[in-house]
Amino acid sequence: EIVLTQSPATLSLSPGERATLSCRASQSVSSYLAWYQQKPGQAPRLLIYDASNRATGIPARFSGSGSGTDFTLTISSLEPEDSAIYYCQQRSNWPPKYTFGQGTKLEIK
């Protein structure tokens, strides 16, 4: 089973700062990686699909990069509403199985 490890576990930054969240896979997942944002009491929201494509309606300050085993979610200029837990997700090629990282909690000071 492919394991996703996210770092850091918690990130505390101020509005306007840049956030860099990491997701590392235990083996190559090609570009089969997505990023989600989850706020308390809400369902996850898709931010990035296929490693680097922004989902519909996602602000341009969110960007994804990487391939293989190392991936990054960057939030270029933090807004107060970006406070949330962020998860990465991968899909193994065959048979298709999906795993999530343990999450990074982003706090806006």
Q: Which CB, 33 or 75, lies closer to another protein?
A: 33
The yes or no reply on residue 44 touching another protein (CB under 8 A) is yes
Q: Which CB, 19 or 36, lies closer to another protein?
A: 36
Q: Both tokens of residue 32?
A: 């089969």
The residue to which tokens 């933090």 are assigned: 78
Taking the complex as a whole, the smallest distance from the CB of residue 39 to another protein amounts, in Å, to: 12
The yes or no reply on residue 95 touching another protein (CB under 8 A) is yes
Q: Both tokens of residue 103?
A: 């999450």
Distance, first Cα to last Cα, the chain: 37
Binding site for another protein (CB under 8 A): 1, 31-34, 36, 38, 43-46, 48-50, 55-56, 87, 89-91, 95-103
